[in-house]
Amino acid sequence: MTSFRDGTDVVESAFSMSKTALLFAGQGAQTVGMGKDLAEKEPVARDLFARANDALGYDLASLCHQGPESELTRTENAQPGIYLVSWIAFQLLRQRVPELQFGATAGLSLGEYTALAAAGAIEFEDGLKVTRLRGRFMQEACDVTRGGMAAILNLDEDKTREVCQEAGVELANLNCPGQLVISGELDAINKACELAKARGAKRAVPLAVAGAYHSKLMASAQPKLAVELANIPIAPPTIPVVANVTARPHDDPTSIKDVLVHQVCAPVRWEASVRWLLAQGFTRFIELGPGKALNGFLKRIAPEAQGLNIADVPSLESTVAALKGS
């Protein structure tokens, strides 16, 4: 039995022979309407949206449900919004399938905060507030730099690193085979895209983002985030939480804070994180939060693994049915 800091338990179940890991969505998954149908149907979701509004002092629920998109996509709103909807999905999973045993968590960049909360390392409200501030600090860094990102498709990592070095950009996300993301100054990103296509990339696509995330251009956000994290109690996780920076679990509270600060400028080693989980015998992965990007990555990394998700009412019902039927 796994006990959580709020006193609830996830009970080991004889019916589940698969080792299950929970995956939490990252920035970019936000969409107007996220969580709306869950709040309309599920009292737990309504209560959590209300708690979030009270904790933050503004109507995050309305932004998630109604937009406008221009406001929801602002980093300081998107990050707590995704964190909140992901947490709601997690709570509904626990409520609907209380017998489910899960043995590890991981989250894509921002999602690492939800992964830590799900493992009992941080409290829900603390995670909500710090992701709001993290988003604000990163937006401030975007506002004083001229940065961007691009997806490089079907070019191997070694060649992509050569392109990065030549163009003066950084490798920001190693998502899955065939999909890497680069980050840096806009002019350098454009140069890197041309170089990547010349080296054989199927596509090199600039992304519609506010700045150069997971690069040195985010450095001004790090000391501000460090101050906020110093004020948040962090406990050792009750189960492994795989860190983006190392692609290995971290369990020391001081180290967790240091890694979260480092993460702002460091590459997201998502493929390596999933492969670590696979090597530990995990065969079922449940993505929690808006979108299905992590399931898409999983199909490219380990097509034999079972991928489920909870983002809305239909996906909640289908995932519960799949788990109950296993």
- Residue positions annotated with a catalytic role: 109, 214
The candidate with the shortest Cα–Cα distance to 212, out of 187, 245, 177, 244, is 187
Alpha helices in the chain (DSSP H): 36-41, 43-56, 60-66, 69-72, 75-96, 111-118, 124-143, 157-167, 186-198, 221-230, 253-263, 270-279, 293-301, 313-324
Task: Calculate the dihedral angle through the C-alpha atoms of 206, 210, 214, 216, rounding to the nearest 10 degrees.
Answer: 100
Task: Calculate the dihedral angle through the C-alpha atoms of 275, 279, 281, 284, rounding to the nearest 10 degrees.
Answer: 10
Quick check: 21 and 106 in contact, CB under 8 A? yes
Beta bridge partners, 24, equal 107, 288
In sequence order, the 6+-apart residues with CB closer than 8 A to the CB of 308 are 284, 285, 286, 287, 295, 318, 319, 322, 323
- Signed CA dihedral, 270, 276, 279, 281: sign only: negative
Quick check: 286 and 309 in contact, CB under 8 A? yes
Burial class, 303, CB count within 10 angstroms (exposed 0-12 / middle 13-18 / buried 19+): exposed
Amino acid at 195: L
Greatest C-alpha distance within the chain = 56
Rounded to the nearest 10 degrees, the angle between the axes of helix 111-118 and helix 124-143 is: 170
Quick check: 39 and 129 in contact, CB under 8 A? no
